[in-house]
Amino acid sequence: MSDNIFHAFLERRRTLTALKQGREQGRGQARGQARTAAVRVCPKCGRPAAKTALYLCSACGYHYSMPARERLDRLFDPPDGGEPTHQKTLFEDIAPCNPLSFPGYGDKIAELQAKTGLNDAFHCREGSVSGGRIIALALEPSFMMGSMGGAVGEAVTRAFERAEARDLPVVIFSASGGARMQEGMFSLMQMAKTSAAVRSFSDSGGLYISVMTNPTTGGVTASFASLGDIILAEPGALIGFAGPRVIEQTIGAKLPEDFQRAERQLERGFIDAVVPRAELRAAISRLLRLHKKAPLHRSLHTDDREIKHEIKKEASE
């Protein structure tokens, strides 16, 4: 990449930082009051309200983004009377690299690693949910917007490979701005790589539950997040490819208020259900239990003709 392009990126970052600072200052009094009262101004209802333990607005139930570790803490079975639940953190050996020597990227990564205690924008564990073993991965929204670079792509791929080898279901919580621009083409190829891993897992009959949280966009929507056997979403989650602002600018028209929101995506058949965060664990447990009773048969994923042939063969035997 030439110095000119890097220069353009740095310029853009400076402009964005300046814009952000301006916006922050402009939020004015309400925010100031909120700060003194140790509460925050909710982006949905605009009221200064406390954030609950589930990262919800105490006034209107707005779903704030939730750290990856806490997501998985709340999903897996709690320790039972001192008995360890045999949870295992996976893929801690996967670390990001800087294939384009993108300026400032290495420092940014190091800073976020220190802040989040994660190597990259994911946290993955194997453990039990309602007594059944599963592999669950959550993207970390505070790590470069949960974007997918080589490390995230590798972790998602390995999660499916491990689950396929062990015959375990997979649950993934997406919260992502999409592909990680700092890794250029290397981040884009993760879309193909993760999709291929999902396909192989699916062909083996594995169950994959995808949970889209706010926001699920770009290359993550365009790959593994949309490939779940069952796709759930949290209320109000932004789900799409390009963001509404970009689309509005491109088509020169005003978009409806609920454009790309989970509720609208449900109406359009893009997802299977909108599940409030407080009910998410119960919903996932129920799906896992149902799957245990009636696992997806391999033939569900094969050609119709093959199924008919199998049925005929079984009938004639």
CA distances from 296 to 69, 75, 160, 306 (A): 29, 23, 16, 16
Closer residue to Zn ion in complex, CB, 60/290: 60
The sign of the torsion formed by the CA atoms of 181, 187, 192, 198 equals negative
How far apart are CB 99 and Zn ion at their closest, in Å? 41
- Tokens 């050996």, residue? 93
Closer residue to Zn ion in complex, CB, 59/247: 59
* DSSP line for 273-291: EE--HHHHHHHHHHHHHHH
How far apart are CB 263 and Zn ion at their closest, in Å? 17
The residue type found at 169 is P
Binding site residues, Zn ion, CB under 5 A: 42, 44-45, 57, 59-60, 62
How far apart are CB 43 and Zn ion at their closest, in Å? 8
How far apart are CB 265 and Zn ion at their closest, in Å? 21
Cα gap 18→155, rounded to integer Å:
35
Closer residue to Zn ion in complex, CB, 57/191: 57
- HEC-encoded secondary structure of 102-142: CCCHHHHHHHHHHHHCCCCCEEEEEEEECCEEEEEEEECCC
Q: Residue 46, by phi and psi: left (phi above 0), alpha (psi -120 to 50) or beta?
A: left
Closer residue to Zn ion in complex, CB, 62/224: 62
How far apart are CB 162 and Zn ion at their closest, in Å? 39
Closer residue to Zn ion in complex, CB, 61/205: 61
How far apart are CB 44 and Zn ion at their closest, in Å? 5
Closer residue to Zn ion in complex, CB, 60/110: 60
